[in-house]
Amino acid sequence: MTKITVVSAHGMDWVWRSGGTILKYVKAGADVTVVCLSMGERGESASAWSEPGQTAEQVRAIRLREAEKAAAVAGVELRTYDWGDYPMVIDDERRLEMVRLLRELRPDIVLTHGRKDPNNPDHVATAQLVESAAIWARAHGRMPDAERFVVRQIHGYEPEFPEFCEFQPDRYIDISDVAEQKLEMMRCSSVQEFMIEVYEQRARYRAIMAGLFLGRRVTHAEAFESFLPAAGESF
Ligand SMILES: [Zn+2]
């Protein structure tokens, strides 16, 4: 069984950027775990803060409910941390927690943010966390009591502003058959509703390249950028 771990800075990042791909894998019988490091209560919840007397705790609770609803639609396990946002501070203790998590979950594929995102330092911090934890997870001498693990695939999902982030996709996943279900996942958010249009349009655009390579009609696709080279017996 394919195991996938998705590491998301904020509550719904993973839904916009990889919800369709996750749905495809779940349908194919994969075991998918989504990890949210924070709920994005401070930086990505503008409309919730228009309520008088609003607090970070209340916004976090709203965002958590949204993420839980989306995870239920997708049929994935959701694990959440409360590491804060804007800024998200990643220290060595948190890196070691990610090492522990990778060694526990032992994913075949890791999805996370791309390495560059000048518009959102939390996304960059998350990508750096995953990359460094993946290196530490394979180290024999780091937490030697926990069985070491080699992460073989890390794919960065598409940022909101791909040109600004120098996003260079090298994988296109055809999500045409789950586009409706992804829409249902996206609609679990009341706080970031505008993102539905952004990523619905993006999926239609990425479908052009996916359709060209696949030689068939593709209506929706998601794009990813690999962090790691591949090794095998052949290309
Ligand atoms: Zn985010």
Q: How far is the CA of 200 from the centre of ligand 1 (A)?
A: 17
The CA distance from 204 to 211, in Å, is 10
Instruction: Return the percentage of the chain with pLDDT > 90, whole number.
Output: 94
Q: Tell me, in angstroms, the distance from the centre of ligand 1 to residue 212's CA.
A: 30
pLDDT grade, residue 11 (50/70/90)? very high
Instruction: Write down the pLDDT at residue 111.
Output: 98
pLDDT in tens, 111-166: 999 999 999 999 999 999 999 999 999 999 999 988 999 999 999 999 999 999 99
Q: Which residue in this structure is represented by tokens 């239920």?
A: 72
**223 Cα–ligand 1 center, Å:** 17
pLDDT greater than 90 at residue 188: yes
231 CA → ligand 1 middle, Å: 31
Cα 228 to middle of ligand 1, angstroms: 23
Q: Separation of 122 CA from ligand 1 center, angstroms?
A: 7
Residue 40 pLDDT greater than 90, yes or no: yes
Per-residue model confidence (pLDDT) at position 191? 86
> What pLDDT score does 120 carry?
97
| Ligand 1 centroid from CA 52, angstroms | 24
> Ligand 1 centroid vs 18 CA: distance in angstroms?
13
DSSP string, 209-230: HHHHHHTS--S-EEEEEESS--
Ligand 1 centre distance from Cα of residue 10 (Å): 5
| 34 neighbors 8 (Cβ within 8 angstroms) | yes
Q: pLDDT tens digits for 202-224?
A: 999 999 999 999 999 999 999 99
Q: What does the pLDDT look like over 75-105, one tens digit per residue?
A: 999 999 999 999 999 999 999 999 999 999 9
Cα 104 to ligand 1 centroid, rounded to whole Å = 25
Rg (Cα) of the chain, in Å, rounded? 17
pLDDT on residue 112: 98
Distance of alpha carbon 68 from alpha carbon 77, whole angstroms: 9
Q: Indicate the CATH number for domain 3-226.
A: 3.40.50.10320
